[in-house]
Structure 1
């Protein structure tokens, strides 16, 4: 129970040039077809086994929500089939199935019956549903007066009042307060441990990374990637950058699963091989990254650092075409792919000046390495023309996990646990 099989799934909608074209196609069939098909999803194939937690990511309009509606049967497929085994609980839209003029309690009764529960079952579960939703006296008020967060509380509480074989959530948990979200994810975790299959759509990559063991990346209606969440997220980030990019040079997105990085420390930077990032990396040919290293004051390279000490990260770019307003940045992630810190020169309110062709641009970032002793990776980027609150006109290169480093325990520092050292200062008094 709790399995899903999707075979050659596709969904297309008819588009007519005018409203009269639809009428003409219905009433005057001899005129021929008056529409064209707009494919939202095409040739989707995957299988999900019992107990898997699978994330689905993609930019707006990629087809994620349509895919979930096809799986739940609320929309009919144009091609292909969906086979699911087990009882499905779905949160596709806030308040879906709730009548706005009916109070919350009666809506729970109706929603429960749609889920296949008897009136007796719902009555027994009502105290548990009310307690989990935590909306108080609003349970007896019309749903139209509910906030979006209150609707989500009640909808999630009803959908999960009995552990389903398959739980499908489409971005519904994005609303509401963080404490209730944590409560929801705790229940989801309990369900998946008990064998519930989870299908989870979200734009929160951190949530997908922490919740799911597998991730499907939907791109322009097609299945672009199905595998490890971190690699899927890297491809998703590359897609976001591609959408923002205004350059005429097409982006080359690396979709291979494994890439060896080649570092030419002993080679002159002008002749050094270009570094290669992992899944989701972007190159344009306008510049190469030829060095990502932690360096000491004398220029020597550091491969491991002590926690809480100040370090310098140097990134070397070989410029192939002139850049009017270049900006460089970096991202640090832990072994689980969680982003611990990222910034760039534009966000630091710094300018590098014009970079000429056939030159080396070396950028150094100095910072306190307040990280817990462990292994970490570095993602780097180079862009041209910053604007807004951190967007760029042109993405030049973006390399995922192009380098790695190790943080060692610092015997002279305090003993602490967590992700980052807050460097607390102690003061106390006695009376």
Structure 2
């Protein structure tokens, strides 16, 4: 079983005012230093336990790839240490270690040896590598003629030819076609079930929330948040609009979940509730039942344009459905300060049995990245039960009519 322990990890690069200053520091070692340190990462501490899956997220430049390089040993840290146990397989930069003039088969043998396999082991695993990569005769062509997707196919197939104790995956999977990405994540999920420890960097919210037990958010080279994937992704979503003098707050709900509320506060929701078709409050609804989502809001300043949006999320935080008044052609304009509003959204609860939550947004357009007046996750939690419908699987009630004809 593999474990990863990161202790006070930091990485800094030397910056010199001129190239002559670099030369002078090298030639005259006992003089005062002529460089300053540019910290890319600083004070990173976390542990990944055996069999656990942890996702790392953050905007570009937050330090995610540098962190993985230090964990895998391709970059040395300035401070701190990394301790790992077990066999490690890593996919970092696309095609890292591949020689463009060697064939895919030759590169597979070289990459396999870097992972600790013997030549005999790689030869035994090679048929499986070829079958999973599905690049056909290109396996015996130089890698320089490969597309980026083909390089990713081969690199992933080699890295996962044998189940490792620890699997580390950077964003390389993002360049693959939909079929192979789906196939790759299926293998990752299989490894997880068999006990592999997983560390993954991805901008794919769905992948992080469906695969990972925990998520880590990096911001400006520091660990900004660590916790359940849904809560961390909600906080990350709020940070994306963090250039509007907005506040970002987290609140611990009574059910133990962390709610993120962000925005400038120029418009706010005052109450979010769910009702049956007669207006009676409900917390549990039947599959297909007609319901009303009632959102009360108010403004604290004059707003040129106001859009209300909402989303229904499943228990893992995946958005099942979402829309807003901009998409529906019902934007309010020139809303005065102190205005009170009530939105009533009527729809059939064509959802599968389970627990769901409502997220709300008050913005000026169809995105919160321009004017985020308020974005509230976990604004409401409700349950769906199946009282009188035939049993079915999934998150959506899409009752079909099936005709059978004997031919």
TM normalised by structure 2 equals 0.92
Quote how far apart the aligned CAs of 1:424 are.
Answer: 3.0
Q: 2:316 aligns with which of 336, 341, 353?
A: 336
Mapped partners of 2:21, 2:343: distance in 1: 60
SS in 1 for 2:192: helix
Q: In structure 2, how many angstroms separate the alpha carbons of the residues matched to 1:319 and 1:16?
A: 51
Aligned to 1:259: 253
Distance 1:344 1:17 in 2: 51
Query: Tell me, which stretches of 5 or more residues in structure 1 are unaligned?
Result: 262-276
Cα RMSD of the aligned pairs, angstroms, is: 2.4
Shift of 1:394: 1.5
* CA distance in structure 2 between the partners assigned to 1:17 and 1:294 by the alignment: 62
Gaps of 5+ in 2: none
Q: CA deviation at 1:195?
A: 2.5
- Is 2:286 aligned against 1:316? no
Partners of 1:233 and 1:334 lie apart in 2 by 14
**Alignment partner for residue 399 of structure 1, among 354, 368, 376?**
376
By how many angstroms is 1:188 displaced? 1.9
Query: In structure 2, which of residues 387, 393, 398 is the aligned counterpart of residue 417 of structure 1?
Result: 393
1:23-422 equivalent positions in 2, closer than 5 A: 23-27=23-27, 32-242=32-242, 245=243, 247=244, 250-256=245-251, 258-260=252-254, 278-296=258-276, 299-384=279-364, 386=365, 390=367, 392-409=369-386, 411=388, 415-422=391-398
1:189 is displaced (CA, Å) by 2.4
Secondary structure of 1:75's partner?
coil
SS at match of 1:301: coil
Q: For 1:252-302, what per-residue CA distance to the aligned partner results, in whole angstroms no more than 9, with x for missing partners?
A: 22235x1359xxxxxxxxxxxxxxx94332143323311112345654433
C-alpha separation in 2, matches of 1:354 and 1:365: 22
Q: Say if 2:314 and 2:356, in contact at 8 Å, map to a contact too.
A: yes
Offset at 1:155? Answer: 0.4
1:135·1:150 contact (CA, 8 Å) conserved in 2? yes
SS of equivalent residue, structure 1 residue 102:
coil
Distance 1:180 1:393, change over 3 A: closer
CA deviation after TM superposition for structure 1 residue 19, in Å: 4.1
Aligned 8 A contact 1:278 1:402 in 2: no
CA distance in 1, matches of 2:405, 2:114: 63
Tell me the equivalent position of 1:270.
none
Compute the TM-score of the two structures, normalised by the length of structure 1: 0.87
Distance (whole Å) between structure 2 residues aligned to residue 115 and residue 291 of structure 1? 56
Q: Structure 2 vs 1, CA of residues 415 and 116 (structure 1 numbering), >3 Å: closer, same or farther? A: closer
| Native 8 Å contact 1:252 1:284 kept in 2 | yes
Mapped to 1, the partners of 2:333 and 2:182 lie a distance apart of 45
Determine if contact 1:286/1:320 at 8 Å carries over to the other structure: yes
The whole-number CA distance in structure 1 between the counterparts of 2:304 and 2:258 is 28
Moved over 6 A (4+): 428-431
- CA deviation string 1:169-216 (max 9, x = no partner): 001222223332232223222322332211111111111111111211
* Number of aligned residue pairs: 406
Taking the aligned partners of 2:94 and 2:165, their CA distance within structure 1 comes to: 21
Say which SS state the counterpart of residue 7 (structure 1) adopts: strand
Secondary structure of the structure 1 residue equivalent to 2:116 = coil
Pair 1:10–1:177, CA change in 2 (3 A): same
The Cα offsets for residues 2-42 of structure 1, whole Å up to 9 and x where unpaired, read as 11111111111223344444344434667744432221111
Relative to structure 1, is the Cα distance of residues 430 and 53 closer, same or farther in structure 2, using a 3 angstrom cutoff? closer
How many angstroms apart in 2 are the aligned matches of 1:188 and 1:296?
42
Q: CA deviation at 1:50?
A: 1.6
Contact 2:111–2:158 at 8 Å: present in 1 too?
Answer: yes
